[in-house]
């Protein structure tokens, strides 16, 4: 025990995740339409959505023996009940997933263009807008890692309290006090308070996952050369700048072509994306959460950061095999094997 009576992370096991619980309605279209024109829906499918839902489902597929804990707020409706049934079937502890009648379960229309796999999201916040600090009680959770997401897209948690803290800060601080490793992901959307929400959370995070667009918004930097190509040395500088904001262990910036990380002590990481066959790719929704799932699994198991980054890269690639966020994920060793079989690009 620590002096405060809490268990240090070495004596804990499993991964907890809190934040967005979303039902995705995934539609594959022939083209992205111009305003006032039409595109054809080729297929449609229901799937998981949101950071904790995707992450925990991914982890359940990667390692069925890992204890997994769900935290969040869903509606007292058919979709909320489907989420509960889905979690229970996957061995996810959803006893702390709260239910309310004040709003419907959150949903998102995910529109994926067949030829490119690129996706656009039309999101209804629903219960996620109401999620607050009192809905997430970590005191009786034995998880080693707590993942929170998405910052800057959870209305109540984004708000600053009377003590000057936002809800994300409070939750992450509590998780650290309990001896948990903390990590978070952020939202790719236009919240005008983006930086003011995320920057105060950095000192309470051990790991931060963020894409290059979000990193540019957070730092005010650009990572593109005049020819439009991403300059990975600039991505590395962004990661270092965000790390200097107080993140304890590593900031990982993931992109279509690979990932770059800045770590405590001045170490840097990089890994090129898998060379995924074009005929394998069905959609890119959930790739960022699959990336985080792979990385956090490695952290939980005590792997070196380079190994964590390789699994994260492979898991993100494997996730592209279905239009939904989590359907394509396989056991972690299979993800590694498939990614290595495809090979990796170069920066």
pTM value is: 0.93
Which pair of tokens denotes residue 89? Answer: 């079937």
The per-residue pLDDT for 20 is 95
Contact 214, 238 (CB under 8 A): no
How much is the pLDDT for 165?
94
Q: For residue 2, what are its two tokens? A: 């620590």
**What average pLDDT does the chain have?**
93
Check residue 2 and give its pLDDT.
Answer: 45
Closest-CA residue to 17 (of 202, 261, 208, 185): 185
- The rounded percent of the chain whose pLDDT value lies above 90 is 82
> What is the separation of C-alpha 343 from the centre of its chain, rounded to a whole number of angstroms?
24
Please write the tens of the pLDDT for every residue from 58-68: 999 999 899 99
Task: Give 14-40 pLDDT, tens digit per residue.
Answer: 999 999 999 999 999 999 999 999 999
CATH of domain 9-342: 3.40.1190.20
Each residue's pLDDT tens digit, 247-297: 999 999 999 999 999 999 999 999 999 999 999 998 888 999 999 999 999
């Amino acid at each position: 025990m620590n002096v405060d009576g809490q268990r240090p992370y070495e004596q804990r096991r499993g991964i907890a995740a809190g934040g967005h619980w979303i039902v995705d309605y995934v539609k594959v279209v022939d083209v992205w339409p111009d305003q006032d024109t039409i595109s054809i829906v080729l297929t449609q499918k229901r799937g998981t959505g949101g950071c904790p839902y995707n992450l925990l489902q991914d982890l359940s597929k990667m390692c069925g023996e890992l204890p997994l804990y769900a935290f969040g707020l869903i509606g007292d409706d058919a979709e909320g009940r489907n989420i509960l049934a889905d979690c229970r079937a996957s061995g996810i502890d959803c006893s702390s997933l709260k239910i309310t009648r004040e709003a419907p379960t959150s949903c998102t229309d995910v529109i994926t263009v067949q030829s490119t796999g690129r996706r656009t999201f039309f999101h209804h916040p629903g219960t996620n807008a109401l999620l607050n600090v009192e809905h997430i009680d970590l005191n009786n959770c034995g998880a080693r890692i707590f993942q929170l997401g998405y910052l800057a897209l959870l209305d109540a948690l984004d708000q600053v309290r009377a003590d000057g803290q936002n809800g994300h800060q409070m939750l992450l601080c509590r998780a650290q006090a309990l001896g948990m490793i903390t990590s978070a992901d952020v939202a790719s959307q236009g919240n005008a308070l983006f930086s003011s929400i995320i920057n105060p959370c950095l000192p309470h995070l051990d790991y931060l996952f963020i894409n290059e667009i979000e990193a540019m918004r957070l730092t005010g930097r650009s990572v593109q050369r005049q020819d439009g190509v991403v300059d990975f040395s600039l991505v590395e500088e962004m990661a270092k700048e965000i790390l200097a904001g107080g993140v304890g262990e590593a900031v990982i910036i993931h992109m279509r072509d690979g990932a770059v990380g800045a770590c405590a002590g001045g170490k840097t990481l990089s890994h090129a994306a898998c060379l995924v066959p074009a005929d394998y790719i069905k959609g890119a929704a959930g790739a960022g959460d699959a990336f985080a799932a792979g990385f956090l699994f490695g952290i939980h198991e005590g792997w070196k950061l380079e190994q964590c980054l390789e699994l994260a890269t492979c898991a993100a690639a494997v996730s592209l095999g279905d239009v939904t966020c989590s359907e394509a994920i396989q056991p972690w060793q299979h993800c590694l094997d498939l990614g290595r079989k495809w090979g990796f690009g170069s920066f």
